[in-house]
Structure 1
Amino acid sequence: MAPDRGAWPSFEQIPYDGPLAARLATRPAAGGLSLYWLGQAGFVLDTGQARLLIDPYLSDALAVKYRGRGFSHERMMPPPIGVDDLPPIDAVLCTHHHTDHMDGETLQRIAARCAGTRFVVPLASLALARERIGAAPGRLVGVDAGDGLDLAAGLRLSVMRAAHETLERDAAGRHVFLGYGLEADGLRVFHSGDTVPFEGQAAEIAAFRPDLALFPVNGRSDALRSAGIAGNFTLDETADLARECRVPVVMAHHYGMFAFNSAAPEAIDARARGMTGGTRLVRARTGVEYRLGKDPVGG
């Protein structure tokens, strides 16, 4: 059972006009952090002191790779920002090796533009990350479940397990799929990576005590599995796990990128309206700043 949360931090959804690049030019105020959705599982997180990307897929690499064969990977939404328009980035986190999470075309360009950026990747995929990113060895950081790392000033990373669709390990016993907990100034955000439910998952998440959890909702199916495409939480699994762990806010993502492997926005919104138990479900959208603040509200 999740611990009693008491008062919960504030959470705002702030729509904005204009390009994301212009929005990122202004750092968030002290006493909180801001998130912006990049599509699929990608996010910008800005604490005001540190700025990082999680699983940025800003290219058309998969559309090119699969054009004319198999499932179409043409984008349903354009990237909300181009690599050349990104501000300085302290770190990029990749939860696993699939291209929509570790996109060499995007990551190589970030490495070339931002000389100080570090790239955090699963240790099980470190060799592949070197190939795809092409950055100097000192800029690549391999991690495994159970690790902790200070990413930047006031920003702490905790590494956890993920199962996409299994708790897969490499020959050395290192986890292939990861989730990331991020803590800045007492505020905690958890990105599950691509995952399905697994034994012990709820306890791990509850122990981290996230104020905001970022969970996929595209689900899984036998048809996709037979084609070698691993699945994720269903919408109900996302909602139920967040409620079990007493997460104040859970954000649904990993939809709206590829038509064959998505979730209906109206279904997410309907599930959000039906949430009980104090947990709030919101749908990730572009053109919105998600602001997590330190001012407590009732839990």
Structure 2
Amino acid sequence: MLLDLLRWPLPRYRRDSAQAHHGPEGYRNLYPFKQPGFTDLLRWNWQRRRLRVEHRLQDIRRMVPDIAALAANRERPSYTWIGHASGLIQLAGMNLLLDPVWSPRASPLQWAGPKRLLPPAMSLHELPRIDVVMVTHNHYDHLDFHTLRRLAAQEGGSPLFVAPLGVGRTLLRAGAPAGRIVELDWWQRHRYGEIELTLTPAQHWSKRWALGDRNRALWGGFAAKGGGAQLWYPGDTGYHPELFARIAEHLGQVDLALLPIGAYQPRWFLAAQHIDPAEAVEIFRILRPRRALAVHWGTFVLTDEPLHQPPLDLAEALHRQGMDPAAFTVPAIGETFWLDAASSRQTP
């Protein structure tokens, strides 16, 4: 982890003046917002000192994945929630990992920073061989050096690493081979075997550790399509109806949407950059996927809401909108969803 702190060459910023989200000094959002500054951070941390939050970990469901079934699977599209934003996607006979973080802290240091309160659903050595790793942006709860280094050294050769523009240099420092990194701009696609990956826009920002690196790497979400199914994860994002209407039009039918529901309080600080459960429901209404799963919660204490609270707020939002909760469900950590048979849910 010291490598992440001590060697911090700034990402090479490749500006295309024809692109509205390529600014003079870094990338910017399609619908700009004032990004939190140092004084905002101080205010938030001062307010947090008075909070007494109880995290009822016993209310967060967990189950043991069927590791043998996942290892043998070559045909059935599936998604297994590992925890937080990390998930195993199986499409067209390939194994894809989304934002893999196995470390005990979402931090450049493993003795400080947000601590993992619930372990990953399976260990790295229990995973099937990984073909593709997708990293949505460079924040520590989505890009983890220790995990990526081990994946790059997996038996049989490194997976392909796919990430937004500017994230490649960080992936190199994390151990990914130079010839196995693909960087994408918003709406760019990359074909790998029978899989097509598309980087979709998001309302967020980027920063790792170095002074001056804010927004010099892009952020986004991923659509993964293959084997007759399409999955989409928006990445960390704030809500804007026009943005998600554009994404819905561009992607067409989405079989499974992985929608973030955690890390949203306090709203004065986080609304522009992280959706809350009610906004996740609005995205579900706009996108109209066959079904949705609630992710990006239940693992790290990153913000002020209790770790078990997001599913409760999601249930209330679905009820308020008169929507069927069976279409937008809360998985257990370790649960596998098979997308065949009309996207019906199956658990180990």
TM-score of the two chains, using structure 2 as the length reference = 0.68
Q: CA deviation at 1:225?
A: 4.0
Q: 1:214, 1:253 within 8 Å by CA — same for their partners in 2?
A: yes
Q: CA deviation at 1:86?
A: 1.8
Higher relative contact order (CA 8 A, sep 6+): 1
Give the match for residue 162 of structure 1. 202
**Pairing 1:142-221 to 2, within 5 Å after superposition:** 142-152=183-193, 154-164=194-204, 176-198=218-240, 200-207=242-249, 208-209=251-252, 210-221=254-265
Q: Does 1:268 align with 2:309?
A: no
Q: CA deviation at 1:243?
A: 0.8
Q: Distance in 1 between matches of 2:97 and 2:136?
A: 11
Q: Does 1:49 align with 2:93?
A: yes
Q: CA deviation at 1:135?
A: 2.3
RMSD: 3.2
Q: Distance in 2 between matches of 1:64 and 1:296?
A: 38
Q: Does 1:22 align with 2:68?
A: yes
Of residues 123-132 and 140-149 in structure 1, the stretch that sits farther from structure 2 once superposed is: 123-132
Q: CA deviation at 1:140?
A: 1.0
Structure 1 residues 193 and 223, CA gap change in structure 2 (3 angstroms): closer
- State the Cα deviation string for residues 71-110 of structure 1 (Å, max 9, x = none): x512121111122222111100000001211111001001
Letter in 1 for 2:292: V
Q: 1:57, 1:106 within 8 Å by CA — same for their partners in 2?
A: yes
- State the Cα deviation string for residues 217-275 of structure 1 (Å, max 9, x = none): 1253458949xx98411000000111122222121111111234346133334445555
Structure 1 residues 86 and 105, CA gap change in structure 2 (3 angstroms): same
Secondary structure at 2:196 match in 1: strand
Larger Rg: 2
TM-score of the two chains, using structure 1 as the length reference = 0.78
Count matched residues. Answer: 270
Q: Distance in 1 between matches of 2:343 and 2:267?
A: 45
Q: CA deviation at 1:205?
A: 2.4
Q: CA deviation at 1:158?
A: 1.4
Secondary structure at 1:77 match in 2: coil
Letter in 1 for 2:182: V
Give the match for residue 118 of structure 2. 77
Q: Distance in 2 between matches of 1:104 and 1:224?
A: 31
Of residues 288-297 and 217-226 in structure 1, the stretch that sits farther from structure 2 once superposed is: 217-226
After superposing on structure 2, the runs of 4+ consecutive aligned residues of structure 1 that deviate more than 6 Å are none
Q: 1:248, 1:278 within 8 Å by CA — same for their partners in 2?
A: no
Give the match for residue 49 of structure 2. none
Q: Distance in 1 between matches of 2:337 and 2:321?
A: 19
Q: CA deviation at 1:23?
A: 4.0
Secondary structure at 1:200 match in 2: helix
Q: Distance in 2 between matches of 1:203 and 1:258?
A: 30
Q: In structure 2, list runs of 5 or more residues that go unmatched.
A: 1-60, 207-211
Letter in 1 for 2:100: P
Letter in 2 for 1:283: V
Q: Distance in 2 between matches of 1:296 and 1:253?
A: 18
**Pairing 1:1-299 to 2, within 5 Å after superposition:** 18-27=64-73, 30=75, 32-47=76-91, 49-62=93-106, 65=109, 67=111, 73-114=114-155, 115-132=157-174, 134-152=175-193, 154-164=194-204, 176-198=218-240, 200-207=242-249, 208-209=251-252, 210-221=254-265, 225=269, 231-261=273-303, 262=307, 264=309, 265-272=311-318, 276=322, 280-293=327-340, 295=342
- State the Cα deviation string for residues 11-56 of structure 1 (Å, max 9, x = none): xxxx99645533422316x4x4110001111110012511110001
- State the Cα deviation string for residues 163-216 of structure 1 (Å, max 9, x = none): 1269xxx99x98711111111133211110111113632223212121211111
Q: Distance in 2 between matches of 1:24 and 1:275?
A: 36
Q: In structure 1, list runs of 5 or more residues that go unmatched.
A: 1-14
Identity of aligned residues (%): 26
Q: 2:105, 2:115 within 8 Å by CA — same for their partners in 1?
A: no
Structure with the bigger percentage of strand: 1
Q: CA deviation at 1:64?
A: 7.5
Secondary structure at 2:80 match in 1: strand
